[in-house]
Amino acid sequence: QVRVVESGGGLVQPGGSLRLSCVVSGSIFNIFAMGWYRQAPGKQRELAATISSAGFTNYADAVKGRFTITRDNTRNMVILQMNSLKPEDMAVYYCYARVLVTPDGDSEDYWGQGTQVTVSS
């Protein structure tokens, strides 16, 4: 069993900051990519940011320069620091991890339940 648990969402005013954290636990041999996707009401889930096991990052154009993704491989944790938040950043943010459970198996994507980020004055 692999668990993906997010924390850190909430209400923030435009221009404010939030820090999302995600911890992956359970039967894990290795974790490859980790990242954050988001889904606003009435819209499809979209990529926000991802980070490889080596630390290479990828950001959606909409968040570049404002969001920073980092990971701590010793704690199986990924963090999304969100600054200068805008109303259009409001969404449910989902953490995901590409996990290898056994060395001879295939990696699979595991998702958290999501955490709500609300940007409003």
How high is the pLDDT of residue 21? Answer: 98
SS3 52: coil
How high is the pLDDT of residue 14? Answer: 98
Q: Which amino acid is at 75?
A: R
How high is the pLDDT of residue 30? Answer: 94
How high is the pLDDT of residue 84? Answer: 98
How high is the pLDDT of residue 58? Answer: 98
How high is the pLDDT of residue 74? Answer: 95
Q: How far apart are CA 82 and CA 16, in angstroms?
A: 8
Is the distance from CB of 94 to CB of 111 less than 8 angstroms? yes
Which segments of the chain have a pLDDT < 70?
A: none
Q: Beta strands of 17-107 (E only): which ranges?
A: 18-26, 30-39, 46-51, 57-59, 67-72, 77-82, 91-100
How high is the pLDDT of residue 7? Answer: 95
Closest to 25 (Cα-Cα) out of 114, 101, 80, 102:
101
Using one digit for the tens of pLDDT, what is the confidence trace for 50-62?
999 999 999 999 9
